[in-house]
Amino acid sequence: MTTDFRELQKKNKRTTRWLLFASFFLVFFVSFLAGLALTGFLGIGIFALLFSGALTFFQYRKSSTLALRATGAIPADPDKYAQLHNLVEEMALASGLPKPDVYIVNDPAPNAFATGKDPENAAVAATTGLLEKMDRNELQGVIAHEMAHIRNYDIRVMTVATATAGAVAIIADLFWRITFWGAITGGGRRRSNNQGGGPQAIIILFAFIFVTVLAPIAAGLLKAAVSRSREELADATAVELTRNPSGIRMALEKLDRDVTVVKKTSHATSHLWIESPDDHVKGHKGKKMNDMFNTHPPLSERIDLLRKMEGLPPYQG
């Protein structure tokens, strides 16, 4: 069992560097292509490098706060949610980390997520539905899963993925608006100045397709790849922290049977949750095209891995 955990950790760490590089390169390339299409000046690459770095850094610094705000998370009262605070502190001690900030999301759907830049600046949020529907053993498994994301620095990589998707969305929106209004107010003038504008027109067309269509798709695929590679590792690490495979396994089985969906969520934050809200919204199970964009492996696969650790038959849910 321990060997499986270590193998998953090694595989996870090997993918981290190229995913982070790919994230920055995507933002840089989108910035450069948009700038080249709008100005026709190759030197725009220097500006694109600085702009993409600044934008990604800003998104990275603010994404955790934005995630908590977007999900409607509020600080969990230590008296009212004493059990939640106790379990978070217990799992923090087990993982050797400082206790993260604890938040609550007033929503009947059972779910939870972790966010932050590093273990010293992290937060764990749980829905009221999770607290109501899970027993202590199952809730401990869920909290251990979220602490695993913090310990494995998944929160940092997922924050970068969120920042990348946000930065690409901002650039695509700006480019579309500038191109649209430029076509209305000065498109004819530009074409005449370029004597037909052949090469420039081709660059603009290619940039428009790439920046507004292909780049957001690439950002979505990148975010999905980042998240999928880390969910099973977090499940395995939760078992390591609790020394109890049944807790997280029974919690996932209960999540799989529950059909309620978190109300206040979006594609930008769906990859943070222990169960992606998109799974129920899209009803994508078994659809290969949608599977490419799934930020989580199917719950049944995660459950089967845990059941195998316990020597139980495959999940029949």
Active-site annotation holder among 138, 146, 240, 275: 146
Two tokens at 173?
A: 């929106």
Would the pLDDT of 41 be above 90?
no
Two tokens at 274?
A: 């222990």
Q: What are phi and psi of 113, to 5 degrees?
A: -155, 165
Q: What is the pTM of this model?
A: 0.76
C-beta atoms surrounding 68 within 10 Å = 22
- Residue 89 known to be catalytic: no
pLDDT per residue as tens digits for the range 86-105: 999 999 999 999 999 999 99
Helical H segments across the chain, by residue range: 2-39, 44-70, 82-95, 128-133, 136-151, 154-185, 187-193, 198-209, 215-242, 245-257, 278-282, 288-291, 299-310
Q: Which residues of 77-109 are buried (b: 16+ CB within 10 A; e: fewer)?
A: eeeebeebbebbebbbebbebebbbbbbbebeb
Q: 142 and 126 in contact (C-beta within 8 Å)?
A: yes
pLDDT per residue as tens digits for the range 264-294: 776 667 778 998 886 655 544 444 444 555 6
Report the mean per-residue pLDDT for the chain: 80
d(CA 26, CA 157): 15
What does the pLDDT average to over 11-30?
Answer: 72
Q: What are phi and psi of 274, to 5 degrees?
A: -65, -30
The pLDDT, as a whole number, for residue 77 is 97
Would the pLDDT of 40 be above 50?
yes
Which residue has better confidence, 78 or 30? 78
d(CA 73, CA 4): 34
Q: 36 and 42 in contact (C-beta within 8 Å)?
A: yes
Two tokens at 223?
A: 């975010």
Sheet (strand 112-118) strand order? 74-75, 101-105, 121-127, 112-118
Strand 74-75 versus strand 112-118 pairing type: unpaired
d(CA 218, CA 204): 19
- At 78, is the pLDDT very low, low, confident or very high (cuts 50, 70, 90)? very high
| Rg of the chain taking only CA atoms, in angstroms | 22
The pLDDT, as a whole number, for residue 177 is 78
What does the pLDDT average to over 28-36?
Answer: 83
Q: How far is CA 294 from CA 18, 137, 140, 181, 290, in A?
A: 20, 28, 26, 35, 6
Two tokens at 295?
A: 């930020």
The pLDDT, as a whole number, for residue 284 is 46
